[in-house]
Structure 1
């Protein structure tokens, strides 16, 4: 196990990341592109300005992990271990990421790009989408109860196809709930 270590500007695509557990580590400006993270464990770790494009995540454990300003294009979080799975995202690009069928209540997304992200059949209860771009994001049979969308934009959510009791929206976000009806709403 590697504990309390700071990794800076490491290229793990070229130099393999040690197959071990990481606890309370910080990874800054690191490249994880095309890395096989399958089965690895990260607990209370912080990733800042890291690139995970093409990384494999089968069985990866992410326990209380923070991603800040990271590139997570197409990241398959749905393949991660669901044991104590908990993470947060700030200023990340999560385009095409998959959270399909995950139970990730109270997740916080802040200033993230979530274009075409897949949240289908996920339990997102009490999640916060703070100033996020959700164009093309997929919400199908998703638990969005008590979820906060008030400052996010470009989402399209069918209330008849998702659980939404207590979800919060701004007046500007209401058209995203009516898109299936083909209405033209003007202010």
Structure 2
């Protein structure tokens, strides 16, 4: 199959809306403010390894969009509207999701979040001030990710890798952390109310405090 490549291209506002895009390479392309609602990208590349540049998705409409087995390294997703966004089996190292919205606001007191990010490399990705409460975020690599001011309350973070990770900088109450590598998590300094961990994980966390968990 011939793989198409687009370089330095400005994507039209509704050029790709609702389409299935497979096996396409986008080098330094501009998707800012583009409507990508329900658009599906499969086996696509958005990272220019020669110039170490990602694509620009700032302020794009990405409700229900999906990326499967794509390279999203260092792409900019600032201010995107991304309710229901799916990112699966992707490389997203260094991508910037700061100020992205995964929320559906019903009223000033009523809202919910929706995102499906799994089996992806999120090392050094920026999720600062992002609300990802009660979302499906399992089997990801979170090494060095910036989560300052973010909320993951009630989300499924099971099977994750959390090395070089600042647990104190975000809200993880009610999260499922089973089968995760918890890195330097200190149960004395992080609010773990409602968090799920396995007995082996609890034993490891307690052992750092000199406590032996029996049974």
TM (norm. structure 2) is 0.69
Superposition deviation, residue 152 in structure 1: 2.2
Find the partner of 2:93 among 79, 90, 93: 90
C-alpha contact 2:127 2:146 (8 A) present in aligned 1: yes
Segments of 5+ residues of structure 1 without an aligned counterpart are 182-187
1:125-145 deviation line (CA, Å, top 9, x unaligned): 222102211101211111122
- In structure 2, C-alpha distance between the alignment counterparts of 1:125 and 1:76, rounded to whole Å: 21
1:144 and 1:41 map into 2 onto residues whose CA distance is 24
Residues 3, 23 of structure 1: 8 Å contact kept: no
Flag the structure with larger Rg: 2
TM-score normalised by the chain length of structure 1? 0.78
SS at match of 1:66: coil
Kindly report which structure 2 residues correspond to 1:30-49, keeping only aligned pairs within 5 A, or say none. 30-48=29-47, 49=54
Distance 1:178 1:18 in 2: 43
CA contact (8 A) 1:45 1:64 kept: yes
Checking the alignment, whether the CA contact within 8 Å between 1:115 and 1:135 is kept in structure 2 is yes
Judged with a 3 Å threshold, the aligned counterparts in structure 2 of structure 1 residues 69 and 41 are, in CA distance, closer, same or farther, namely same
Whether contact under 8 Å (2:64, 2:84) holds in the other structure is: yes
Aligned length: 175
Q: Aligned partners of 2:170 and 2:40: how far apart in 1?
A: 34
Q: CA offset at residue 12 of structure 1?
A: 1.9
Change (3 A) 1:40 1:163: closer
